[in-house]
């Protein structure tokens, strides 16, 4: 059974696109067939993070409007056999998306893939509501800042009322993913604590992604962070999150600061 | 400082009210459906005159011009359409009746036309006097219940608001706004498990977060009115 998962947040710049790419790649690495769909019509970015920007011919809007077939718009990842991208249009705006068009595309994608990951635009307008409209599950990306947490709270309210599942009286399964978590600032008490965030959002935690230069480096070379350097801390956190999405039980690691030379020399106890 | 917000201002009160209306659900071919209407009218002329009629277009797919034509055909039969439902708003022109949503089915007693005009609907059920919310109230949500108490078995997020005619009970953290006793009930109170409210109001007297004693923060508390001062005290 295909699962449609929306990656959303309300606030911009918290890491939705990075998360979509990283989770998509991690799921594909574990043998699932995955399509990542960019809903940010007019401000697309997922193609860049996936390193497929030079191979975009047709896009989501072309398919919605019947100009191109879905199979023409899908782009296969060069590194992973089971990972596909459906890019957004950069020249149009969100009004080009229609409810019926999105529904027919999602229905079609459900028959072709195990996972359909929808990268939602920021905000609570048409693009964001259509991205979540047909979702079975949602990953709410949150930074440990009050503004981000409040926007996430708003989005969770919309997931509980504006989605097709909610209108049928069912529930969209929701997960909170905390990104850009800075252990040093957390230690100094400059950020909202994990407990506070979860208390406010009252939603289960999917993972904690530490703030890292590796994320920036990966998106600059057009590679999901889980593919670019699978051993770095954010990549491992994303991989764990993807395993949790697949139903595995993985112990939650709260990122801590690496302290010094001794920590670096004696990083891990051998098995 | 406790002051009633601008006492001289005359507020425009918007009220919601629901009514019973006949719903017409045309089916294709429209011409045949109209002839059915004509047959009804032949049996009891003037049956629909002056009646509230709603047009449900969910089972047909009509363009704006077809809708306009249908409205014209009904108008010729002295049937005035009060509103339209089951159609995309973009199909409705400005001169057409407004789009209605959220309709619920109810029983219409088919009385003779002469009686029907005067007869009101069946006697109203007693309204519930409390509202229970079992999930958290999220930022941006606004719960308005002017008929009595509101109980929330969860938190009220920052940027959310609860408006109640009676008291408000929150078995979680109150981070948003709570307005109790909005119908002039000064005996209404606000209770919460943890107080981090942005604003508390009872019967129009309000306090913002800045005015709430910081020592109360994060504790169980209640707020009530004593004359025209708002008292907030810990609950234990």
pLDDT level of residue A28 (50, 70, 90 thresholds): very high
B173 has a chain A CB within 8 A of its CB: yes
CA atoms within 13 A on the CB side of B129: 4
Q: Is the pLDDT of residue A143 over 90?
A: yes
The pLDDT of residue B220 is 95
Q: From A159, which residue of chain B is nearest by alpha-carbon distance?
A: B138
Q: Is the pLDDT of residue A3 over 60?
A: yes
Q: In the numeric block, which tokens belong to residue B75?
A: 């108008």
Decide: B194 and B218 in contact? Cβ < 8 Å.
yes
Q: Is the pLDDT of residue B3 over 50?
A: no
Q: Is the pLDDT of residue A271 over 80?
A: no
B77 has a chain A CB within 8 A of its CB: no
**A237 vs B83, more confident:** A237
B175 has a chain A CB within 8 A of its CB: yes
Residues of B in contact with A158 (CB under 8 A): 138, 140
Q: Is the pLDDT of residue B59 over 90?
A: no
Strand order of the sheet with strand B22-24?
B22-24, B53-56, B81-85
Tell me what the pLDDT averaged over chain A comes to. 92
The pLDDT of residue A260 is 58
Q: pLDDT of A94-124, one tens digit each?
A: 888 999 999 999 999 999 999 999 999 999 9
pLDDT level of residue A172 (50, 70, 90 thresholds): very high
- The span from the CA of A124 to the CA of A126, in Å, is 7
pLDDT level of residue B74 (50, 70, 90 thresholds): confident
- The span from the CA of B87 to the CA of B100, in Å, is 9
pLDDT level of residue B45 (50, 70, 90 thresholds): confident
Nearest alpha carbon to residue A175 among A194, A195, A202: A202
Q: Is the pLDDT of residue B44 over 80?
A: no
Q: Which helix (H) or strand (E) holds A35?
A: strand A34-38
Q: How far is CA B206 from the centre of its chain?
A: 24
pTM: 0.68
CA of B200 vs chain A CAs: smallest distance (Å):
19
The pLDDT of residue B118 is 55
Q: From B174, which residue of chain A is nearest by alpha-carbon distance?
A: A200
Q: Is the pLDDT of residue A21 over 90?
A: yes
Lowest mean pLDDT among A86-95, A204-213, B172-181: A86-95
Q: From B173, which residue of chain A is nearest by alpha-carbon distance?
A: A200
A194 secondary structure, DSSP code: H
Q: Any residues with CB less than 8 A from the CB of A24 and at least 6 apart, and which? A: A34, A35, A36, A83, A115, A117, A224
pLDDT level of residue A258 (50, 70, 90 thresholds): low
Beta bridge partners of A75: A85
Residues of B in contact with A132 (CB under 8 A): none
């Amino acid at each position: 059974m295909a699962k449609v998962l929306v990656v959303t947040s309300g606030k911009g710049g918290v890491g939705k696109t990075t998360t979509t790419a990283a989770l998509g790649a991690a799921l594909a690495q574990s043998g699932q067939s995955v399509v990542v769909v960019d809903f940010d019509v007019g401000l697309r970015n997922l193609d860049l993070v996936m390193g497929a920007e030079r191979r975009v011919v047709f896009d989501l809007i072309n398919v919605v409007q019947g100009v191109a077939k879905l199979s023409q718009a899908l782009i296969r990842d060069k590194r992973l056999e089971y990972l596909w991208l459906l890019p957004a249009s950069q020249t149009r705006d969100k009004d080009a998306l229609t409810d019926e068009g999105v529904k027919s595309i999602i229905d079609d994608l459900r028959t072709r893939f195990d996972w359909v990951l929808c990268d939602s635009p920021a905000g609570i307008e048409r693009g964001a509501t259509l991205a979540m409209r047909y979702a079975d599950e949602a990953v709410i990306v949150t930074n440990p800042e009050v503004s981000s947490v409040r926007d996430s709270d708003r989005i969770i309210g919309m997931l509980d009322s504006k989605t097709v599942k909610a209108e049928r009286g069912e529930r969209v399964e929701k997960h909170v993913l905390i990104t850009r978590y800075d252990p040093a600032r957390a230690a100094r008490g400059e950020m909202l604590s994990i407990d506070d965030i979860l208390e406010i959002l009252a939603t289960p935690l999917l993972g904690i992604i530490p703030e890292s230069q590796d994320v920036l480096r990966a998106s600059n070379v057009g590679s999901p962070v889980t593919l670019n350097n699978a051993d770095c801390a954010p990549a491992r956190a994303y991989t764990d999150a993807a395993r949790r999405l697949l139903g595995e039980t993985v112990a939650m690691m709260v990122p801590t600061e690496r302290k010094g030379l001794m920590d670096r020399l004696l990083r891990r106890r051998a098995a | 400082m406790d002051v009633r917000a601008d006492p001289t201002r005359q507020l425009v009160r918007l009220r919601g009210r629901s009514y019973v209306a006949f719903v017409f659900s045309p089916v294709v071919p429209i011409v045949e459906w109209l002839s059915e209407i004509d047959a009804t009218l032949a049996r009891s002329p003037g049956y629909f005159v002056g009646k509230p009629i709603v047009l449900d277009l969910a089972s047909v797919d009509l363009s704006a011009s077809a809708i306009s034509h249908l409205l014209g055909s009904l108008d010729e039969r002295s049937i005035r359409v009060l509103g339209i439902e089951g159609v995309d708003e973009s199909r409705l022109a400005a001169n057409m009746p407004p789009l209605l949503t959220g309709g619920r089915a109810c029983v219409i007693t088919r009385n003779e036309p002469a009686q029907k005009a005067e007869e009101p609907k069946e006697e109203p059920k007693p309204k519930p006097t409390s509202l229970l919310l079992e999930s958290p109230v999220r930022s941006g949500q606004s719960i308005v219940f002017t008929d009595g108490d509101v109980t929330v078995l969860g938190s009220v997020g920052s940027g959310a608001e609860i408006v109640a005619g009676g008291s408000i009970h929150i078995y979680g953290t109150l981070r948003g706004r709570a307005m109790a006793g909005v119908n002039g009930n000064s005996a209404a109170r606000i209770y919460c498990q943890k107080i981090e409210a942005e604003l508390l109001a009872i019967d129009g007297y309000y306090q913002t977060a800045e005015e709430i004693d910081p020592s109360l923060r994060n504790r169980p508390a209640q707020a009530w009115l004593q004359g025209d001062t708002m008292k907030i005290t810990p609950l234990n």
